[in-house]
């Protein structure tokens, strides 16, 4: 499909050019030759025709291979993206890019890209589509969405999308349309962490400060594989400066390999570990009295409630020696204030994860995370007041949310939602039947647990539309696919990191008919009669309205890639954004909702005999379910899509390294090859997410590895709404 | 040599005779070959580098590099000229196959007893040995020349084929990489041994006074009768016989149409179509 | 001209996290064919018995040796060592014979299946000349791969090795004076850090044992013989009547 430009083609032309140049150069060399210098020319590095890649120009933009959004310097030659480098001016890249960032250009030059709108012609799921014009595809989409709205009400249309810069426009579309049903990746990822930290600190996602750190506890934050470029780098930096890192993980991850201490904790028991640390720190008076007295509430209640959580108690649950827990509690407290327990994205992914995150949050408060006033390990976030186009108020929504917030999950923040619940309620038709689904850059068939259920839900719907770059597994079931330009081909709304505002701008023209999300949503909005919510002429106009308050021209921003907004110097004591204005060790909000106000022990379920914990976790070469078709990444993701199994467990079942095995849970089974390794607890097996794609539109990814979401059972944490991804117990036997 | 048997007058008479030894096409081919060797040998030496060829002074590599503006263009020009050289030779052989190549092969590629005998004596005479031994009569080309033509034919084909392999080496898959690896020493071996022959050829053809006629024949195409008689007796005699036969035939043709036979020393018969060697 | 440069890689295996960004960066920078890489990150897998495990990651690439065997093996001079220490390939002068590939005891070279030429790490000389770091170094998140001028005391490499023990990937058999300095012993089974001398290919042996001696002897004999003959002829003198 990308016939007109491929990198190979371009390289070929470069080679021919050089050959011509080699011959043409001879005449010139002869002409200027008068006296010959007989010193070795090659040794001086003056060889003329040594080819090296050269760029015509470079463009500053932002990466979109994951949600960290590193700054990128894209080099272009002959209209083709040649190389991406990390932008040293961007605090998220610090000049580096990870493997995914480096491979970004192959997303643009993926031969499987959808380059024109597609409309389904065969059975749903048959993968038979025809190309359509934008007008046709958008008209049809608008017609269907209006039909659903008129027949069943706007709530019958489900919207879903995953973290991206044009998400505000997507949300604008769904809010203007009037649907309360919005699914995001959040409940599959960080609901527990965000909910816990909002309740404790009033901070959604605490930023982490690494400089000078001496002691770090990582619980499920596999930073060396779940890479956030700058943070991973900062962690490596402090490790090499001598910081002690404790990694709690049932699996010997690459983070464990780099850490000073790896504790192969029993899954789900990290809550017990943290409660025991709190127990020691409280009972032995190792906490920061000043901070606790002045900036927190509920310490006494905590002191009382953690009494049973002794290291001896925890040792039995966690299978970590009592002395180790005791020692770590002391070391951690002694290193304060240059110590923190990482808030993580997720912990061990059990229904008790919310309590675990609360324990982490409280543990940090106890040792005093603010060494100096205003200089906290969880610093306050900058707020850059970007401009936006004018728009009317959203229509009033009276329908209940299909995700059960707040009627089933009272404490889940409205913004986070419970995605898996929407899927379940499409199936049950309760409290009402959804009829359509619009997803943008998301792959719910792969990402939601219990894939069979998700496919059933899809089959129940009357209309499915997707915005995507490639034909991902969910788009495979869609009725209309609207092809979006890749991040190297389009504008997105600008993005602030700290007080610095960055632009994502087209590095090259979009291939085929691909269009930016800003364009797609505006065009669709216009057809839905919602044009007042999309008051911008084009992408550049949108950005101009965003940066209007700062007196910066778009041209300047495009050229430099960013601009700085002056920081407001905050004065006075820090006020925490919680009901009490302090760090809430005991939360009244929780108490009122009928949950324990302080972190308490909640036993996670354990696998019945003969079953394993099925672990999940990141690999450094892929992002969720989106990058497995990238040609560059598939070459370097070796040893990532096998099932990890301990030699003892394997021997018991007569399984040898490289064997094909069947992994089965209550909801499904997959076949996968085994990697027998010492690097995992004997009671666990591990599968990386993102493999086992079922869309034949992904030629590289199709059928490669196995998909864990086929066996994942859906369990939702009643407090935070998070999916307990590790709470699936499987049998493993030779296939 | 057997010139003792000739009187001074006979020698002078022989000297006045002119025999055609080379056609213009052969002469041109020869000098084309020379020109190409003069280009290809120094450039080829300029390419050789590394511990394998310590005998090529690095200054020579550098000189060649400087002239051509780098190693890559040096190699490109070497292979371009090499291909021109090889394809022109192939072209000549193909299109002059009947007219030039068969006679060339017939005259130069078959060794007889006399040739071997000659080879057993002549080289020694050059250094003052076997002075009194009689050299056997030779055809248009002597045993040494015939040996040399073997060398040239084999060498040229070897150089050309290996050269083409090296020029288009990037098209050879890595699994057949050994072809390139063998092409290099064989190219070198073919050039080196042919060049050793060239040294002798140049000395014998251009420096030895006795072969001066042969040298000039590479420009004019002709040699005089005395040289032919002394050095290539078999050829001389055959040529004379051919000439006589041709004259006889011609005269009979004239008689048949009623033209009087010209008197002695009068109108000469046109030369016979002569098979000649190319060099 | 400024002081002579002496480029080197300094690699700190302790800081490598095996993210393989370098592999992709190199792949993108040079568009090497699928399955062919100029650089490596080696690991012997988790060592030890659960739960006492360790794992090291050893980045490697061409070591730009001070005594590069590949340069000696190259028949055309397409592979050469620059004064600044970089061992480079003039692709246009390379005939893809693979002798250098065979000669490198680190197997740091390969024959590019698309170009048909020898290929290997070039330390991204074009980036270095433009003041940038090689692609792998520039993108290295862990800071494990460093590159720079050892003659410049302020360079990142000089500062990284200051006061630290460095290890060169050499053995008793192979010492090509590699210009990659490891900050911890790069003990790994991989040949890129545990060099293995390799047998010359048959054609190379033929070259040394047959082609070269034969050509040398033939040329020497022919030339010497003719020179002698010429001297003999000088002594003999010329007789103008002898001339044909």
Task: Read off the pLDDT band of A29 (50, 70, 90).
Answer: very low
Q: Any idea where the domains of chain B sit in the sequence?
A: 2-256
- Judging contacts by C-beta atoms under 8 Å, the chain B residues touching residue C214 are 189, 192-193
User: Tokens 């080496």 sit at which residue?
Assistant: B169
Other residues' Cβ atoms within 10 Å of the Cβ of residue A350: 28
Q: In 3-state terms, what secondary structure has residue A220?
A: coil
CB atoms within 10 A of CB A365: 28
Indicate whether A122 pLDDT > 80.
Answer: yes
Exposed e or buried b per residue across A4-26, where buried means at least 16 C-beta atoms within 10 angstroms of its C-beta:
ebebeebbeebbeeeeeebbebb
Pairwise CA distance, residues B254 & C136, whole Å = 92
Q: Chain C: nearest CA to B50, how far in angstroms?
A: 5
The rounded distance, in Å, linking the Cα atoms of A350 and A12 is: 53
Give the number of other Cβ atoms within 10 Å of residue A553's Cβ. Answer: 12
Instruction: Name the phi and psi angles at C165, rounded to 5.
Output: -75, 135
Task: Determine the Cα–Cα distance for residues B9 and B16; give it in Å rounded to an integer.
Answer: 11
**Could you tell me the pLDDT band of residue A372, with boundaries at 50, 70 and 90?**
low
**Residue C176, pLDDT score:** 93
Q: What angle do CA A617, A263, A299 make, to 5 degrees?
A: 95
A315 sits in which H/E element: helix A311-318
* Three-class SS state of A197: helix
Burial class (CB in 10 A: 0-12, 13-18, 19+), B265: exposed
Nearest-angstrom CA–CA distance, A160 and A425: 15
Average pLDDT over residues C8-26: 96
Residue spans of the domains in chain A: they are 1-52, 118-189+386-486+512-536, 208-380, 612-734
User: Would you say residue A269 has pLDDT above 90?
Assistant: yes
Whether the Cβ atoms of residue C179 and residue C186 lie closer than 8 Å to each other: no
What's the burial of C36, exposed, middle or buried (CB within 10 Å: 0-12/13-18/19+)?
middle
State residue A375's pLDDT score.
63
| Interchain CB distance below 8 Å, A96 and C20 | no
Tell me the C-alpha distance between C100 and B164, whole Å.
Answer: 21
Higher pLDDT, B25 or A84: A84
- pLDDT tier for residue A373 given thresholds of 50, 70 and 90: low
| A90, two tokens | 């961007």
Least-confidence region, from A39-48, A665-674, B150-159, B182-191: A39-48
Name the fold adopted by A612-734. Barwin-like endoglucanases (2.40.40)
- Which CATH superfamily groups domain A208-380? Dimethylsulfoxide Reductase, domain 2 (3.40.228.10)
- Interface probe for A, chosen from B47, B56, B70 (most Cβ of A below 10 Å), is B70
Which stretches within A127-190 are classed as H helix? 134-152, 167-177
Question: What token pair was written down for C26?
Answer: 């190199």
Report the topology of domain B2-256: Fumarate Reductase Cytochrome B subunit (1.20.950)
E strand or H helix that includes residue A271:
helix A270-283
pLDDT at A141 over 90: yes
* Residue B124: predicted pLDDT: 79
* Predicted local distance difference test score (pLDDT) of residue B7: 77
Cβ neighbours of residue C30 under 8 Å, at least 6 residues apart? A53, C38, C119, C122
Residue of C nearest to B75 (CA): C93
Contact B208 C233 (CB under 8 A): yes
Query: How far is Cα A181 from Cα A173, in angstroms, rounded to an integer?
Result: 12
Higher pLDDT: C220 or C2? It is: C220
Determine the distance in angstroms separating the CA of A133 from the nearest CA of chain C, rounded to an integer: 34
Whether A612-734 and A118-189+386-486+512-536 are alike in CATH topology: the answer is no
Among candidate residues C18, C16, C7, C35, the one with its CA nearest the CA of residue C134: C7
Q: Sorting pLDDT into bands at 50, 70 and 90, what band is A467? A: very high
Cβ distance B43 to A20 under 8 Å? Answer: no
pLDDT in tens, A188-199: 888 899 999 999
Alpha-carbon distance values, B248 to A636, B258, B263, B270 (Å): 89, 15, 14, 12
Return the pLDDT at A161. Answer: 94
| Cα–Cα dist C16/C41, whole Å | 9
CA A425, CA C33: separation in Å to the nearest integer?
A: 48
One CATH from 3.30.1330.10, 3.40.50.12780, 3.40.50.12160, 3.40.50.740 for A118-189+386-486+512-536: 3.40.50.740
Query: In this model, does residue C157 exceed pLDDT 90?
Result: yes
User: For residue A420, what pLDDT is reported?
Assistant: 94
Q: How many Cβ atoms from other residues are within 10 Å of residue C165's Cβ?
A: 10
Q: What is the 3-state secondary structure (H, E, C) of chain B?
A: CHHHHCCHHHHHHHHHCEEECCCHHHHHHHHHHHHHHHHHHHHHHHHCCCCCCCCCCHHHHHHHHHHHCCHHHHHHHHHHHHHHHHHHHHHHHHHCHHHHHHHHHHHHCCCCHHHHHHHHHHHHHCCCCCCCCCCCCCCCCCHHHHHHHHHHHHHHHHHHHHHHHHHCHHHCCHHHHHHHHHHHHHHHHHHHHHHHHHHHHHHHHHHCHHHHHHHHHHHHCEEEHHHHHHHCHHHHHHHHHHHHHHHHHHHHHHHHCCCCCCCCCCCCCCCCCCCCCCC
| pLDDT, tens only, C53-73 | 999 999 999 999 999 999 989
- SS3 state of residue A152: helix
Q: What is the DSSP string of A379-436?
A: PPPP---------PPPPP--SPPTT-TTTT-TTS-TTT--HHHHHHHHHHT-SS---E
Element (H, E) at C161: helix C156-161
Q: Do C53 and A227 touch (CB under 8 A)?
A: no
Task: Let me know the angle formed at the C-alpha of A708 by A707 and A713, rounded to the nearest 5 degrees.
Answer: 135
Quote the pLDDT of residue A380: 66
Q: Tell me, what's the pLDDT at A374?
A: 55
B74 to chain A: closest CA residue: A26
Give pLDDT, residue B243: 80
Q: Using CB atoms, pick whichever of A22, A33, A40 lies closest to residue B73.
A: A22
pLDDT beyond 70 at A20: no
pLDDT (0 to 100) of residue A7: 45
Q: Name the one residue in this structure whose structure tokens are 């959804």.
A: A434
pLDDT value of residue A649? 96
> What residue of A is the nearest CA neighbor of C29?
A83
Q: Which residue of C has its CA nearest to B177?
A: C97
The pLDDT value recorded for residue B27 is: 87
Six token digits for residue A422:
């929407």
Please report, rounded to a whole number, the percentage of residues in chain C having pLDDT higher than 90: 68
Q: Which of A8, A72, A99 to mutate to test the interface with C (most CBs of C within 10 A)?
A: A99
Residue C99 in contact with residue C204, Cβ under 8 Å?
Answer: yes
pLDDT of amino acid A18: 42
Q: What is the mean pLDDT of chain A?
A: 89
Is the CB of B83 inside 8 Å of chain A's CB atoms? no
For chain B, 279 residues long, give each residue's pLDDT as a single digit of tens. Answer: 444 577 777 777 777 777 777 788 888 988 999 999 999 999 999 888 767 777 788 888 888 888 888 888 899 999 999 999 999 999 988 888 787 778 777 777 777 787 788 888 877 777 777 777 777 777 777 777 888 888 988 999 999 999 999 999 989 999 999 999 999 999 999 999 999 999 988 888 777 777 777 777 778 877 777 777 777 777 777 877 888 888 888 888 888 877 665 555 445 555 555 444 434
pLDDT of the residue at B219: 82
Distances in Å between the Cα of A718 and the Cα atoms of A220, A355, A418, A593, B169 are 21, 11, 10, 11, 69
pLDDT the model gives residue C240: 55
> Does residue A615 register a pLDDT over 50?
yes
Do the Cβ atoms of C232 and B126 come closer than 8 Å? Answer: yes
Cβ-based contacts of A680 with chain C (< 8 Å): 50
Q: What is the dihedral of CA A654, A656, A662, A664, to 10 degrees?
A: 70
The predicted structure's pLDDT at residue B69: 83
Distance from CA of B95 to the nearest CA of C (A): 32
Comparison of pLDDT for A88 and C242, the residue scoring more: A88
Report the C-alpha gap between A320 and A324 in whole angstroms.
7
Q: Does A15 touch chain B (CB under 8 A)?
A: no
d(CA A405, CA C134): 51
- Preceding amide of C51 cis, omega within 30: yes
Q: Pick from C15, C48, C139: which is nearest to A237 by CA?
A: C15
3-state DSSP helix/strand/coil percent for chain A, to nearest 5? Answer: 35, 15, 50
CA of A215 vs chain C CAs: smallest distance (Å): 18
Q: What is the pLDDT of residues A396-417, one digit of tens each?
A: 998 999 999 999 999 898 888 9
Tell me: the pLDDT tens digits for C210-231?
999 999 999 999 999 888 888 8
Closest-CA distance of chain A to residue C56, Å:
7
How far apart are the C-alpha atoms of B159 and B194, rounded to whole Å? 9
Q: Are B224 and B232 in contact (CB under 8 A)?
A: no
């Amino acid at each position: 499909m990308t016939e007109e430009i491929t990198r190979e083609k371009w390289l070929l032309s470069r080679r021919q050019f050089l050959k011509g140049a080699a011959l043409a150069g001879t005449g010139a060399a002869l002409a200027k030759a008068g006296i010959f210098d007989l010193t070795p020319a090659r040794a001086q590095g003056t060889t003329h025709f040594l080819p090296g890649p050269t760029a015509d120009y470079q463009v500053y933009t932002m990466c979109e291979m994951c949600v960290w959004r590193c700054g990128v310097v894209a080099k272009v030659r002959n209209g083709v993206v040649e190389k991406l480098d990390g932008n040293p001016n961007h605090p998220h890249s610090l000049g580096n890019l990870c493997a995914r960032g480096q491979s970004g250009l192959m997303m643009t030059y993926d031969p499987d890209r959808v380059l024109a709108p597609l409309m389904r012609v065969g059975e749903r799921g048959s993968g038979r589509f025809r190309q359509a014009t934008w007008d046709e595809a958008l008209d049809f989409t608008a017609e269907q969405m209006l039909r659903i709205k008129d027949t069943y009400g706007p709530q019958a249309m489900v919207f879903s999308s995953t973290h991206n810069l044009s998400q505000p426009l997507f949300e604008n579309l769904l809010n203007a349309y009037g649907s309360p049903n919005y699914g995001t990746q959040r409940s599959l990822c960080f609901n527990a962490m965000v909910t816990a930290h909002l309740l404790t600190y009033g901070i959604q996602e605490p930023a982490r400060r690494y400089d000078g750190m001496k002691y770090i506890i990582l619980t499920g934050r596999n930073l060396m594989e779940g890479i956030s470029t700058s943070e991973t780098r900062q962690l490596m930096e402090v490790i090499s400066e001598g910081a002690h890192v404790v990694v709690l993980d049932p699996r010997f991850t690459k983070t464990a390999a780099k850490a000073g201490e790896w504790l192969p904790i029993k899954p789900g028991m990290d809550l017990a570990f943290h409660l025991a640390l709190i127990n020691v720190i409280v009972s032995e008076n190792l906490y920061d009295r000043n901070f606790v007295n002045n900036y927190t509430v509920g310490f006494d209640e905590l002191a009382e409630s953690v009494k049973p959580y002794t290291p001896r108690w925890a040792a039995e649950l966690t299978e970590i020696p009592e002395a180790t827990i005791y020692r770590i509690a002391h070391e951690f407290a002694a290193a304060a204030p240059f110590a923190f327990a990482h808030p993580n994205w997720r912990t061990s992914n059990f229904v008790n994860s919310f309590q675990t995150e609360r324990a982490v949050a409280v543990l940090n408060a106890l040792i005093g995370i603010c060494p100096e006033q205003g200089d906290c390990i969880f610093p306050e976030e900058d707020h850059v007041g970007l401009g936006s186009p004018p728009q009317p108020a959203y229509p009033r929504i009276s329908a209940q949310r299909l995700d059960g917030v707040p009627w089933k999950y009272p404490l889940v923040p409205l913004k986070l939602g419970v995605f898996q619940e929407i899927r379940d309620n499409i199936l049950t038709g309760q409290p009402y039947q959804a009829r359509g689904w619009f997803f943008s850059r998301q792959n719910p068939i792969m990402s939601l647990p219990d894939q069979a259920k998700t496919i059933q839900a899809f089959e129940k719907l009357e209309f499915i539309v997707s915005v995507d770059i490639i034909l991902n597994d969910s788009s495979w079931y869609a009725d209309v696919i609207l092809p979006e330009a890749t991040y190297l081909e389009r504008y997105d709304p600008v993005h602030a990191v700290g007080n610095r505002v960055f632009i994502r701008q087209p590095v090259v023209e979009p291939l085929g008919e691909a269009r930016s999300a800003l364009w797609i949503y505006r065009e669709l909005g216009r057809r839905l009669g919602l044009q007042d919510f999309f008051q911008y002429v084009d992408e550049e106009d949108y950005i101009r309205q965003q940066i209007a308050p700062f007196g910066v021209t778009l041209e300047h921003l495009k050229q430099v890639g960013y601009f700085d907004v002056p920081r407001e110097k905050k004065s006075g004591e820090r006020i925490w954004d919680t009901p009490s204005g302090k760090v809430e060790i005991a939360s009244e909000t929780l108490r009122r909702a009928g949950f324990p106000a302080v972190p308490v022990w909640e036993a996670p379920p354990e696998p019945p005999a003969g079953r394993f914990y099925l672990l999940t976790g990141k690999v450094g070469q892929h992002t969720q379910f989106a990058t497995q078709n990238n040609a560059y990444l598939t070459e370097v993701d070796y040893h990532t899509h096998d099932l990890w199994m301990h030699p003892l467990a394997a021997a018991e079942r007569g399984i040898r390294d490289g064997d094909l095995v069947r992994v089965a849970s209550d909801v499904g089974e997959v076949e996968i090859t085994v990697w027998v390794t010492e690097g995992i607890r004997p009671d666990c097996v591990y599968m990386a997410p993102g493999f086992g794609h079922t869309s034949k539109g992904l030629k590289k990814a199709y059928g490669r590895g196995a998909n864990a979401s086929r066996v994942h059972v859906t369990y939702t944490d009643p407090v935070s709404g998070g999916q307990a991804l590790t709470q699936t117990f499987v049998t493993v036997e030779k296939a | 040599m057997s010139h003792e048997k000739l009187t001074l007058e006979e020698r002078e008479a022989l000297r006045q005779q002119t025999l055609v030894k080379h056609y213009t096409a052969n002469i041109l081919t020869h000098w084309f070959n020379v020109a190409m060797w003069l280009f290809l040998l120094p450039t080829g030496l300029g390419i050789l580098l590394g511990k394998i060829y310590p005998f090529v002074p690095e200054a020579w590599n550098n000189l060649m590099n400087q002239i051509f503006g780098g190693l890559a263009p040096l190699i490109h020009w070497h292979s371009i000229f090499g291909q021109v050289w090889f394809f022109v030779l192939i072209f000549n052989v193909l299109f002059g196959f009947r007219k030039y190549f068969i006679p060339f092969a017939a005259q130069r590629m078959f060794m007889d007893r006399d040739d071997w005998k000659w080879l057993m004596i002549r080289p020694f005479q050059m250094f003052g040995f076997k002075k009194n031994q009689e050299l056997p009569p030779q055809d248009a080309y002597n045993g040494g020349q015939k040996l040399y033509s073997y060398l040239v034919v084999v060498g040229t084909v070897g150089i050309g084929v290996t050269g083409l392999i090296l020029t288009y080496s990037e098209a050879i898959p890595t699994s057949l990489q050994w072809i390139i690896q063998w092409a290099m020493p064989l190219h070198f071996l073919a050039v080196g041994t042919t060049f050793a022959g060239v040294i002798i050829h140049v000395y014998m053809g251009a420096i030895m006074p006795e072969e001066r006629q042969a040298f000039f024949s590479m420009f004019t195409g002709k040699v005089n009768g005395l040289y032919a008689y002394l050095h290539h007796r078999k050829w001389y005699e055959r040529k004379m016989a051919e000439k006589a036969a041709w004259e006889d035939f011609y005269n009979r043709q004239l008689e048949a149409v009623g033209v009087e036979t010209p008197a002695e020393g009068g109108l000469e018969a046109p030369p016979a179509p002569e098979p000649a060697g190319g060099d | 001209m400024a002081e002579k440069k002496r480029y080197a890689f300094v690699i700190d295996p302790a800081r490598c996290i095996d993210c393989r960004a370098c592999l992709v960066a190199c792949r993108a920078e040079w568009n090497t064919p699928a399955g062919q890489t100029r650089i490596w990150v080696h690991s012997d897998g988790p060592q030890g018995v659960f739960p006492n495990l360790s794992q090291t990651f050893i980045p490697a690439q061409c070591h730009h040796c001070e005594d590069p065997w590949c340069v000696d093996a190259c028949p055309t001079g397409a592979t050469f060592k620059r004064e600044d220490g970089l061992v480079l390939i003039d692709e246009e002068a390379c005939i893809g014979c693979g002798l250098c590939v065979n000669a490198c005891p680190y197997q740091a070279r390969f024959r590019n299946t698309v170009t048909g030429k020898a290929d290997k790490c070039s330390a991204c000389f074009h980036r270095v000349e433009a003041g940038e770091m090689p692609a792998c170094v520039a993108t290295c998140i862990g800071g494990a791969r460093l590159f720079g001028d050892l003659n410049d005391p302020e360079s990142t490499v000089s500062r990284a090795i200051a006061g630290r023990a460095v290890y060169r990937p050499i053995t008793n058999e192979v010492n090509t004076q590699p210009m990659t300095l490891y900050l911890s012993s790069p003990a790994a089974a991989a040949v890129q850090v545990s060099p293995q001398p390799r047998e010359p290919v048959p054609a190379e042996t033929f070259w040394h044992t047959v082609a070269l001696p034969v050509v040398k002897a033939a040329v020497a004999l022919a030339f010497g013989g003719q020179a002698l003959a010429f001297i003999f002829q000088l002594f003999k003198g010329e007789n103008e009547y002898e001339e044909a």
